[in-house]
């Protein structure tokens, strides 16, 4: 990787993307997402040396949605380690993020922790092992983000719950197969709150840093997870982090990462940096249209794809 002037680079990238026609639209299944300004654009890159580079709306919080599935996965791995893999797989799904077909064919075991069914199982694990799941999960996220002001958005969580019939179908099907151990309402409540967290690009870049540094929080010196577990999380992001666009993202960006329907994407280069980008317009696969372009230009211009 070449020595990079990110300030100039981000400027160039934003300029290059400016004339792009406004493709796609924000998610519209809940009002809180649909009323976001679709032309927001922000990026924040933090490297392992503590330097920060940013541009645009990088300090504005947005609904991180599925990105937070990395936090719940991390916490579940801290709690039960490898035992998690008997209840959820680590392989890409090859079908829609909310499909029931795979679940029925594979006896209620979701293919990975980032499809909805998998994230719900992870929440079930948290409910089993935590006395105050919602509070402790938020506490954990605040810790790795080093930011006590992070919050769930109750209005978003309630909207998700109100439109969550497909997720209810998923959880009942899994419970029928014996892969949900707790009260369905409680697990879903945690799941929908998890999806409602709001963070800025800067905060996201901070909170994913431990995955770029072998599992250790460099500022506190605390091991969030072991290096092996950090690697596991990174590989799951690489293969399953972008719905049915993992191959496309791997090629274009070449970094492990996770996207959300709020238009955010986080990616990281192990040992080097984390980067978060936000642009609410989504492509047909549910990933941020401009967000993917920004990251593609970033890794191409800096030659920092891991491939």
Q: Is 89 in the site for a second copy (CB under 8 A)?
A: yes
- Residue 250 interacting with a second copy (CB under 8 A): yes
Binding string to a second copy for residues 125 to 164, with x set by CB under 8 A, is what? ----------------------------------------
Minimum separation from the CB atom of position 216 to a second copy (A):
15
- Binding residues among 96-115 for a second copy as defined by CB under 8 A: 99-105, 111-112
Among 24, 241, 256, 280, binds a second copy (CB under 8 A): 256
Piece of the chain touching a second copy by CB under 8 A; list 14-22, 44-52, 218-226, 234-242: 234-242
d(CA 203, CA 61): 9
Binding flag, residue 176, a second copy (CB under 8 A): yes
State which of positions 203-232 bind a second copy (CB under 8 A). 231-232
302 belongs to the binding site for a second copy (CB under 8 A): no
Provide the β-strand partners of residue 273. 47, 269
Does the footprint of a second copy cover residue 259 (CB under 8 A)?
A: no
* Positions that interact with a second copy (CB under 8 A): 89-95, 99-105, 111-112, 165-166, 168-170, 172-173, 175-176, 231-232, 234-236, 238-240, 244-248, 250-251, 254, 256, 270, 305-307
């Amino acid at each position: 990787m070449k020595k990079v002037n990110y300030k100039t680079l981000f400027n160039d990238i934003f300029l290059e993307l400016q004339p792009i026609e406004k493709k796609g639209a924000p998610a519209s299944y809940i009002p809180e997402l649909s009323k976001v300004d679709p032309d927001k654009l922000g990026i924040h890159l933090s490297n392992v040396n503590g330097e920060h580079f940013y541009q645009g709306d990088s300090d504005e919080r947005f609904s991180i949605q599925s990105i937070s599935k990395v936090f719940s996965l991390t916490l579940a791995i801290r709690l039960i380690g490898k035992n998690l893999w008997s209840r959820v797989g680590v392989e890409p799904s090859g079908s829609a993020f909310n499909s029931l077909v795979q679940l029925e064919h594979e006896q209620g075991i979701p293919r990975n922790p980032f499809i909805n069914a998998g994230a719900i199982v992870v929440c079930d694990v948290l409910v089993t092992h935590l006395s105050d799941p919602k509070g402790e999960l938020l506490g954990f996220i605040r810790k790795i983000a080093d930011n006590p002001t992070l919050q769930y958005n109750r209005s978003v969580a309630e909207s998700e719950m109100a439109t969550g019939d497909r997720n209810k179908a998923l959880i009942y099907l899994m419970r029928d197969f014996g892969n949900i151990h707790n009260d369905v309402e409680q697990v879903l409540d945690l799941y929908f709150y998890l999806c409602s967290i709001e963070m800025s690009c800067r905060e996201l870049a901070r909170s994913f840093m431990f995955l770029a540094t072998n599992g250790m929080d460099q500022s506190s010196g605390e091991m969030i997870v072991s290096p092996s577990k950090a690697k596991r999380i990174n590989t799951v992001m690489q293969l399953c982090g972008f719905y049915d666009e993992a191959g496309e993202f791997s090629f274009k960006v070449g970094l492990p990462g996770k996207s959300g329907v709020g238009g955010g994407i986080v990616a990281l280069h192990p040992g080097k940096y984390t980067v978060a980008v936000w642009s609410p317009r989504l492509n047909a696969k549910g990933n941020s249209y401009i967000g993917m372009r920004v990251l593609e230009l970033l890794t191409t211009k800096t030659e920092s794809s891991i491939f």
